[in-house]
Structure 1
C-alpha cells in the first residue's frame, strides 16, 4: 500500500479531468469554445429532519475533487482556466460548524487555477463572451444563474462527456479504488472471523461498518448485503437483521467508499466453518466462472463475450451436478441458465458503484444479456467488477419449471437438494490494462483459508 499512499499525497487530478472532458467535447464539435459550468450539491435538509444530505454530485466531484456543498465551477476551454467558487463565511453557521474553508486553503487543497466565493459566480459569467457556448447539465443550473451573455447554451453534451471520460481511470483514481478495497478487505475479514459466533445479520453489518469507519472509509459505497441461508438468492437483499441459526451460508456483498470512490466486493462462506457438500459444489462452479472470465480480460475484449462464457461454465457445472440435464448447446440456446444466473457478470466501478459509461440495453429481448450493465469493448484503464453467481431463488426458478421448453432441462429432484444453499456470488474489482488486468481485491476467497479462519475464530 506504500505506492498507493504515495500517489494519494498529491491532489486529485481535477484539472486533467477538465481537459479530458473538453477534448471529448471538441471531438464532437471541433470548433467548441466557451465555458464548462457545474454546480455542486445544494445544502438540503433530509425530509422531516434537520440533518443535511451529504452526497456531492458526482459530475462536480470529477471536475473538482471538492466535496463542499453549495460550490460552483467553471472551466474556460480556450484559456484552460479552472475556477472553483466556494461558499463565503456565514457568521451564523460558524457558531455551529466552525470556520469554513478559506479561499487560500481551497486553492492549496484542490487542483484548480483560481478560487473565489460563490457570490462572485454571476459576475464571472456576466463578462461579455458573444461567440462562445456555455456547457452545463440540465436540471443542475440554479434559477439565479443566467447564460444570456453566451452565443448558445448546451445542457446535454457536458453530462455525456463526463460520463464517458469517467470510464477510464487515471493513476490517482486507481489508487483511491485500491484504498477502498484495502479497507473493505479488513472489514470482510472481520466478518469472516465473527460469523460463527454471531447471532444475526445485523451484528455482522455493524461490525463491517465499524471496521470501515475505523480505517478511514466513513461512508459505505452502497447498502451492504448480509444475506444468510436462502436469503442469499435475493440479489439486492436489504433486511440484514435475520437470525443466522440453522442456516448454511452467508453471502456478504459490501464495500466501503474512500474519498468518493467505491469498492464492491462479494464473498460467500459457511456460517459454521464448513461448506455442505451442495454448497461447496456450487461455490466451486462460481469460482471457476470468475477465474476463467477474469483471465479473459484485457483492453478491447468484448464484455458480452465474457458474460456468455460465464453462462457456458455455469451450464457445464450444473450439468455435472445433475441440476440441469440434456444437451448443453440446447440449454444455452434456450437461455435456461438464466434461471440460475439472472444478472449481468459485472459493471463499471468508480465514483458510483454502478458507474457510468456502460451503455446497457435493458430492452434487449435476449434474457441472457438484458441485465448486462456493460456492453461492448473494455478500454484500458477501466475498472469493472467480475461477479458471477448461481442462485436458487424459488420465485425466479419456479416459472421455468412450469415452462415446457425450460422444464425439460431441469431435474426437479436434484434441484430440491440445493434450495438451502440460497446463492453463491464471488466479486472482485478488476483494472483493465493493455495486455491483461490487475485484480484490486485481496479479500479471501480460497475455501480452505476461509474455513480455517471461521473454524479457529
Structure 2
C-alpha cells in the first residue's frame, strides 16, 4: 500500500501547505506549530492513559504514537518534524522516521519533549497543542482565524486521505465478519469483542472508539460498552458498532443481526437496511444534511407503520415526536481523522455556526454536502424503555400498537451504518465496498 500512497501523499502535503499558507496569512502569523501532545497521567498514579496524537498532527503525517513531537510549518519552507526519540529502557522507543512521507520533511531527532519545545522557532506563532507540562509558560493560542480555516478545509478529504479511509473500512469490515461469526457461534459480548480485535489485528487503544457490542435488549442502549462475560440464555439479536484505524484515520461501521428463527425482527432489519441504502444514495453535492436527516424520520415512520408498530401518517409521526422515540439520534456525522470530525456545524471557512433543526438536538452535522466530504449514514430504530414510557403519556399513545412494541423489546434495536464519500457524481460507499471485497 505504501507504494501507492507515495504520490498521493506528495499531493496531500502540497494541499496542506497551501491551506496553511492561507490560514497563517488570515491570522497574521509566521509559523504554524502543531504538537503531537504527550500522554495524560492517571490521577495519583505513575501510569498514563493510552496516547493518541493530536488530529492536526496526524493530518500532516502518518504518525500516531510519537508523544512530544512537533510539526513546524513556515510558509515558503519545507515542513519540519521535531521527532522525540527518548533514551528509555522501560518502553519501546519510536523507530527513526521512515517510509513514503519522510522526504516531505526536514527531520530533527531529539531525546526529550522539553528539547523539542526548545527547538521551536520564535516569532508570531500559531500553536495548536493540548496543554501539557512540557509547554507550560508557552502560549498555546489556537487562533480562531487559523483553526476555523483549517477545520473547514479538513472537511474535504484529499485522495491520500480517502485511500487511508478505504483501508480503515477494510479493517473494520474484516473484523465485523469475525464478530458476526462469533455471535452465530453463541459467544458472549466479550467473546465477540475479542474475536473482533483479533480479526482487526488492532488493540482496544488502537481502534478509533470503544466498540459497542450489544446482545438482545442491550442494543437499546445507544452507547453500550459493558461486554457481558456470559452469553444470554437465549439469543435474539446482536448489534455491533465498531471501527478500525489506518494511519490515524477512522472507520465507523454498524450492523445488526437477528438470531436464527426470529423472522419478524429480521424483516424489520431488512426494512431499515433498505431505507439506509436509500439515504446513502442521496449523499450528493448540494444535499442539505439536516434535510436528509428529517427525510430519514419520514421514511422510518413508514417502516414503523409497515411493521404494525404505529398507525398514523409519517407526517403525524414526525410532527408529534413519535419517530424521535424510536430514532432518537442523528442520521450521522462527518468522519475522518476523528470519528466525529470537525466543522460539522461551521457556516464558512471564516467560522460561524449553523444551528440544528428544532426538535433534533443530537444531529451532528448541519452543513450541505459537497464533494470530498465523508459522512456516516446510520439510521436506527430502538425500543428504549425510558422513551417508550414517555410516549405512553402523550396523545399519540393511542396510535401505537403496544403489544407489537412489547414483542420487539427483547431485541433492543437496530442500527445500520456506512461511511460514504460525497463525490461529483454518485456517492462512494466505503463500507459496502470493503465488505464486497471480502466475498
Give the TM-score category using the shorter length. 0.7 to 0.9
Residues 290-319 of structure 1 deviation map (CA, whole Å, 9 limit, x = unaligned): 011111111221111211121111111211
| 1:366 pairs with 2:363 | no
Kindly tell me: are residues 443 and 239 of structure 1, through their superposed partners in 2, closer, same or farther at Cα, counting changes over 3 Å? farther
SS of aligned partner of 2:265:
helix
> What is the Cα deviation at residue 66 of structure 1?
3.0
Give the greater-gyration-radius structure (CA): 1
> What is the Cα deviation at residue 247 of structure 1?
2.8
1:269 corresponds in structure 2 to 257
Kindly tell me: are residues 124 and 309 of structure 1, through their superposed partners in 2, closer, same or farther at Cα, counting changes over 3 Å? closer
2:350 corresponds in structure 1 to none
1:307 corresponds in structure 2 to 293
| 1:329 pairs with 2:320 | no
> What is the Cα deviation at residue 320 of structure 1?
2.1
| 1:59 pairs with 2:56 | yes
Kindly tell me: are residues 332 and 162 of structure 1, through their superposed partners in 2, closer, same or farther at Cα, counting changes over 3 Å? same
2:178 corresponds in structure 1 to 190
> What is the Cα deviation at residue 323 of structure 1?
1.2
| 1:251 pairs with 2:260 | no
2:217 corresponds in structure 1 to 230
Q: Could you tell me which of 128, 146, 161 is aligned with 1:137?
A: 128
SS of aligned partner of 1:441:
helix
Q: Does the 8 Å contact 2:68/2:116 carry over to 1?
A: no
Task: Provide the aligned C-alpha RMSD in A.
Answer: 3.1
Kindly tell me: are residues 39 and 308 of structure 1, through their superposed partners in 2, closer, same or farther at Cα, counting changes over 3 Å? same
1:30-429 to 2 correspondence within 5 Å?
32-47=28-43, 48-51=45-48, 53-67=50-64, 68-77=66-75, 79-87=76-84, 89-90=86-87, 93=88, 95-97=89-91, 100-102=94-96, 105=97, 109-110=101-102, 112-118=104-110, 119=115, 121-122=117-118, 124-126=120-122, 129=123, 133-137=124-128, 140=131, 143=135, 146=138, 155-213=143-201, 219-241=206-228, 243-271=231-259, 273-274=260-261, 276-359=262-345, 364=356, 366-367=358-359, 369-404=360-395, 406-429=396-419
* Structure 1 gap ranges (5+): 447-452
> What is the Cα deviation at residue 158 of structure 1?
3.1
Kindly tell me: are residues 146 and 427 of structure 1, through their superposed partners in 2, closer, same or farther at Cα, counting changes over 3 Å? closer
TM-score (normalised: structure 2): 0.86
User: How many residues get paired?
Assistant: 422
Residues 69-124 of structure 1 deviation map (CA, whole Å, 9 limit, x = unaligned): 111222112x243111122553xx1x34466544xx45974364322245365355
1:449 corresponds in structure 2 to none
Kindly tell me: are residues 184 and 138 of structure 1, through their superposed partners in 2, closer, same or farther at Cα, counting changes over 3 Å? closer
Q: Does the 8 Å contact 1:315/1:332 carry over to 2?
A: yes
Q: Does the 8 Å contact 2:73/2:79 carry over to 1?
A: yes
Q: Does the 8 Å contact 2:333/2:364 carry over to 1?
A: yes
Q: Give the Cα–Cα distance (whole angstroms) in 1 for the partners of residues 218 and 153 of structure 2.
A: 37
Q: Give the Cα–Cα distance (whole angstroms) in 1 for the partners of residues 204 and 3 of structure 2.
A: 18
Q: Give the Cα–Cα distance (whole angstroms) in 2 for the partners of residues 365 and 437 of structure 1.
A: 25
TM-score (normalised: structure 1): 0.83
Q: Give the Cα–Cα distance (whole angstroms) in 2 for the partners of residues 392 and 382 of structure 1.
A: 32
Q: Give the Cα–Cα distance (whole angstroms) in 1 for the partners of residues 286 and 357 of structure 2.
A: 25
Higher mean alpha-carbon deviation, 13-22 vs 276-285, is at 13-22
Q: Does the 8 Å contact 2:5/2:100 carry over to 1?
A: no
Q: Give the Cα–Cα distance (whole angstroms) in 2 for the partners of residues 289 and 444 of structure 1.
A: 20
1:450 corresponds in structure 2 to none
Q: Give the Cα–Cα distance (whole angstroms) in 1 for the partners of residues 409 and 327 of structure 2.
A: 14
Higher mean alpha-carbon deviation, 321-330 vs 339-348, is at 321-330
1:16 corresponds in structure 2 to 14
Kindly tell me: are residues 302 and 365 of structure 1, through their superposed partners in 2, closer, same or farther at Cα, counting changes over 3 Å? closer
SS of aligned partner of 1:251:
strand
Q: Give the Cα–Cα distance (whole angstroms) in 2 for the partners of residues 24 and 429 of structure 1.
A: 30
Q: Does the 8 Å contact 2:69/2:116 carry over to 1?
A: no
> What is the Cα deviation at residue 9 of structure 1?
5.0
Q: Give the Cα–Cα distance (whole angstroms) in 2 for the partners of residues 413 and 107 of structure 1.
A: 60
Kindly tell me: are residues 144 and 443 of structure 1, through their superposed partners in 2, closer, same or farther at Cα, counting changes over 3 Å? same
Kindly tell me: are residues 330 and 7 of structure 1, through their superposed partners in 2, closer, same or farther at Cα, counting changes over 3 Å? same
2:426 corresponds in structure 1 to 436
> What is the Cα deviation at residue 54 of structure 1?
2.1
* Structure 2 gap ranges (5+): 347-352
